[in-house]
Structure 1
Amino acid sequence: MSRRLRVDWPACRARGLCHELLPEVVDLDEWGYPIVTDAVPDALLADARAAVRACPRLALRIVD
C-alpha cells in the first residue's frame, strides 16, 4: 500500500517542522513550504505519523 503525506495548503504556515522530522520525504521550497517528494516507506511510517501529530497547524495528513 502506498502512503503519502498530503499538505493542507491554506492551513500551512511554512514552519518546516515536517521537514525536520521527516527529511527523507519532505523538502522545503524557497519560502519554507513543504514539498512531499516521495511516498512514505513502511520503515518511516512511525516518523510520518509523528510529523502529522507535531504539525502546529494540523496541515499534514497521511493518505493511502
Structure 2
Amino acid sequence: MIAYTQRCVVAPPDTRIALHAAELHRQRRLATADAVVYASALENYAELLTCDTHFDGLPAVVFVPKHT
C-alpha cells in the first residue's frame, strides 16, 4: 500500500474528466462521486486503488478487499 501512495498523483477536475464521468455515470450506473474518481484515473492513464466494491471488476482498478 505504501508503494502505491508514494506514486499518487493529484488530478484536478476539468471539463474532460467531467464529461467522461457523466458517460461513466450513465453507462456503468456509478454514483456521481464514484464516476468522477474513476474518470480521473482513466483520463490520467492511472490505476485506481480502492477497497470500494463499486469498482471491483472494472478495467484499470486494483481492488483491495477489506479485512474484517
TM-score relative to the length of structure 2: 0.25
**Higher RCO, 1 vs 2 (CA within 8 Å, ≥6 residues apart):** 1
Greater share of strand: 1
**Bigger CA radius of gyration:** 2
